[in-house]
Amino acid sequence: MRRKLRIGLVSPYGWDSPGGVQVHIRDLSKFLIANGHEVSVLAPVDDEDGIEEDFVVSAGKPVAIPYNGAVARVLFGPVAASRVRQWISQSDFDVLHIHEPAIPSLGLLACSIAEGPLVGTFHVAAQKFKVAFAIVPIVEPIVERLRARIAVSEVARETLKIHIETDAVVIPNGIGWDSFQGARPRLEWQLGKTIGFIGRFGEKRKGLSLLIDALPKIIESHPDLKVLIAGPGDPEEILKQVDPRLRTRLTFLGLLSEEEKRQFFKSIDLYVAPNIGGESFGIILAEAMATGVAILASDLSAFKYVLEDGKWGVHFEASNAEDLAVKASTLLSDPARLATLASMSSEGAKRFDWPVVAEKIMDVYDLVSGAGEKVVLASGNRSWNKLIRGRGE
Amino acid sequence: MEWVFALLFALVFLWYLTFTASRLDRLHHRVETSWASLDALLQRRAAIALEIAFIPSLDPAAAVVLTRSAYLAREAEMAERSEAEESLTNAIALIGESEDFHKEYPEISERLEVVTSKIRIAIDLHREAVATTKLQRSRPVVRFFRLAGRAPLPVVHPFEEVPL
């Protein structure tokens, strides 16, 4: 039996804007609460009335900051800093679990303000790190304060090693494995041979254009081929660049609900993840696996980790449309192989099931909080706090 | 008799073309000078941002954003430059929300204020110059006779759309 802990979680990104990190924190919190722990999440929030979870505490409205090629909704500054201070000093946490402590947002703030049993999870994987020489000296001494560092994948761990010269344990992101079982296919998504794609297709790194480049060759051997594309974005932008003869092959489904996503995986013949880079984990692959579908993914290290180097699916050479076309045609011509892949992949996703993943995270919590020490404000900040309060009174 | 009119018309038209060409040249020049002064102001803002980033009581997240943007603001590549300036604008706005900052660092805060209001005007001037030039360049006469020569089409950078 584990000790019941008071756990604080810090989200760097706006709670009400879509994103993998927020989903991870939400699911982890729910799991921890179900296991009898007390949880409080501090996050930037756009619309406080729209928040369903009662364990979320708002630190203020996030601002949009362009960061490494994407726009991040983050929060920092003196006002946010005093909220973080308040939250930490009032909550008496046994463990403070900070997400993305190296991104300039609440995570980095909390990491610099708190002292004691701190855990940090690094989600991002970036090969390029702009003006690292100027940023690393600020970030490094702060990240050092974490008692334990978690990376969500080998790629994220590598990023950490290269840029901040610190190591981490790898604990993958979690999925609710059970909820993906027993999904039923939808007839309208099963007409002819179907390839599925999910993701923000407007982003180049997601690789939809690579899949489209490979299409003519696949169609040669599979004339009834359809491609179902799900995810947020503007289909017009894609369609106007596509050969008119191919346009009828593409169906855009928009953003799917969780339920629809499962039906989607169950309906298609082959799930293709043509991503060309910048992937840290690939939670969508784990979800596809859990549902049970044949998977063809590029050989990015993040994907090789999820598919265990081709054990639970097939890899093709990343950014190589030719290889993608050959592998896809071969797979689609072999229904028996597709069926075997689909039936076994679910097994391979069990290692991402929340009970397994959260168990590992709770092990880390136990390790850092073993002595019963509490999370407190760092000494420098205590005096700062006094200064502010003194002035206020 | 007609050829006199034709000649006269041709002469007038030639004059009109050279007139338009030199007008365009002046406009391009205006775009360049307005950008140069905006650029200089932005560099000054970047320098002040670095100073703020080194304030010990400032939170490190703000310090990272300020430092990063300040360095990227010297970058030659415009897409990145614009991103950096936008980050800088948003970051400075967040820090400016705190009254303590103005109270504790009145000197930096004052300089920042001055430079920001100058940037506001510089952006307006630059945008106006770009808009006028683009409008003139879109005229059929200019396009047909290629009066703009090889001058690149001036652009308003995305960060200029962000309110300061």
- CATH (domain of A209): 3.40.50.2000
Same domain, residue pair A244 and A108: no
Burial of A200-217, coded b for 16+ CB within 10 Å and e otherwise, reads ebeeeebbbbbbbbbbeb
List residues bridging with A94 in a β-sheet.
none
A104:B94 CB<8 A? no
Token digits of residue A78: 């003196």
Q: Which has the closest alpha carbon to B144: B7, B20, B12, B41?
A: B20
**Chains A–B, number of C-beta pairs less than 8 Å apart:** 91
B62 to chain A, closest Cα gap in Å: 6
Is B67's CB within 8 Å of A66's CB? no
Residue type present at position A185 = P
**Nearest CA among A12, A128, A205, A131 for reference residue B81:** A131
Cβ of A76 and B91 within 8 Å? yes
Report the alpha-carbon distance of residue A30 to residue A39 in Å, rounded: 9
Q: What is the pLDDT of residue B152?
A: 85
The pair of structure tokens assigned to A222 is: 């599979």
B68 lies within 8 A of chain A by CB: yes
**Domain shared by A161 and A238, yes or no:** no
| B156 falls within a domain | yes
Residue of A87, A77, A15 lying closest to A51 (CA atoms): A15
Q: Does A347 reside within a domain? A: yes
Residue type, A48: E
User: Do A35 and A105 share a domain, yes or no?
Assistant: yes
Q: How many Cβ atoms sit within 10 Å of the Cβ of residue A64? A: 15
* Amino acid code (one letter) for B13: F
Q: How many CB atoms lie within 10 A of CB A51?
A: 17
Q: What single letter denotes the amino acid at residue A284?
A: I
Q: Which residues of B touch A107 (CB under 8 A)?
A: 61
Do A147 and A213 fall into the same domain? no
Is B26 a domain residue? no
Q: Do B94 and A142 touch (CB under 8 A)?
A: no
| pLDDT tens across the length of chain B (164 residues) | 788 999 999 999 999 998 888 888 888 999 999 999 999 999 999 999 999 988 888 888 889 989 988 888 877 678 788 888 988 898 888 888 878 888 888 999 999 999 998 899 899 889 988 998 998 898 898 888 888 888 888 888 888 888 87
Does B2 contact A at CB distance below 8 Å? no
Chain B nearest CA to A66, separation (Å): 6
Asked if A128 and A166 sit in the same domain, the reply is yes
Q: Kindly list the strands in the beta sheet with A148-151, ordered across the sheet, starting from the edge strand earlier in the chain.
A: A56-58, A38-43, A6-10, A95-99, A118-122, A148-151, A169-170
Q: Environment class of residue B136 by beta-carbon count within 10 Å: exposed (0-12), middle (13-18) or buried (19+)?
A: middle
pTM of the entire predicted model: 0.81
Residue B120 lies in a domain: yes
Angle at A200 between CA A194 and CA A205, to 5 degrees: 95
Q: Which amino acid is at A97?
A: H
Residues A303 and A156 both lie in one domain? no
B87 vs A66, A107, A113: nearest CB: A66
B3: distance to nearest CA of chain A, Å? 52
Residues of chain A with pLDDT under 50: 389-393
Give the closest of B57, B60, B67 to A384, CB-based. B57
A37 within a domain of the structure (yes/no) = yes
Q: Does B100 touch chain A (CB under 8 A)?
A: yes
Can you tell me which residue has the tokens 């075997």?
Answer: A340
Chain A residues with CB-CB distance to B68 below 8 A: 104, 130-131, 134-135
Q: How many CB atoms lie within 10 A of CB A66?
A: 21
* DSSP per-residue codes, A121-154: EE----S--TTHHHHHHHHHHHHTT-SEEEESSH
**A-interface mutation test, from B77, B90, B94, B164, most A Cβ less than 10 A away:** B94
In a domain, A122, yes or no: yes
Q: Are residues A343 and A219 in the same domain?
A: yes
CB–CB of B80 and A388 under 8 A?
no
DSSP state, residue A41: E
Q: Are residues A247 and A343 in the same domain?
A: yes
Q: How far is B50 from chain A (nearest CA, A)?
A: 10
**In Å, how far is B148's CA from the nearest CA of chain A?**
31
Is position B84 within any domain?
yes
Give the domain extent around B123. 36-160
For residue A114, the cross-strand partners are A377
Is there a contact between B61 and A74 if contact means CB atoms under 8 Å apart?
yes
Based on the fold, state whether residues A382 and A299 are members of the same structural domain: no
Chain A positions touching chain B (beta carbons under 8 Å): 63-67, 74-81, 104-109, 111-113, 130-131, 134-135, 138-139, 142, 384, 388
Residue A357: the pLDDT is 94
Nearest to B101 among A78, A111, A130 (CB): A78
Please check whether residue B121 lies inside any domain of the structure.
Answer: yes
Helices A354-368 and A20-34 pack at an angle, to 10 degrees, of 80
Is position A393 within any domain? no
Considering CB atoms only, which of B60, B67, B95 is closest to A78? B95
Asked whether residue B25 is domain-assigned, the answer is no
* Nearest residue of A to residue B84, measured between CA atoms: A66
> Is A102 domain-assigned?
yes
Would A73 be classed as within a structural domain?
Answer: yes
Give the distance from CA A234 to its chain's centroid: 22
Please give the pLDDT value at position A391.
Answer: 44
Domain count, chain A: 2
- State the burial class of residue B6 (Cβ atoms within 10 Å of its Cβ: 0-12, 13-18, 19+): exposed
Domain containing A162: what range? Answer: 6-174+353-388
Are residues A135 and B62, on separate chains, in Cβ contact within 8 Å? no
Per-position DSSP letters for A268-282, written without gaps between them: -SEEEE---S--S--
A151, A232: one domain: no
Residues A87-110 as b/e (b if ≥16 CB within 10 A, e otherwise) read: bbbebebbbbbbbbbbbbbbbbbb
Nearest CB to A131: which of B53, B72, B101? B72
Within chain A, how many helices (H) and strands (E) appear? 15, 17
Q: How many structural domains is chain B composed of? A: 1
- A103 and A137 in one domain? yes
Q: Where are the alpha helices (DSSP H) in B54-144?
A: 60-72, 78-96, 99-104, 106-137, 140-144
Dihedral of alpha carbons A232, A277, A132, A41, sign = positive
A344 and A201, same structural domain?
A: yes
Which residues are bridge partners to A228 per DSSP? A196, A251
Question: Does residue B3 belong to any structural domain of this protein?
Answer: no
Using the structure block, give the residue that is written with the tokens 């009834």.
Answer: A224
- Domain assignment present for A1: no
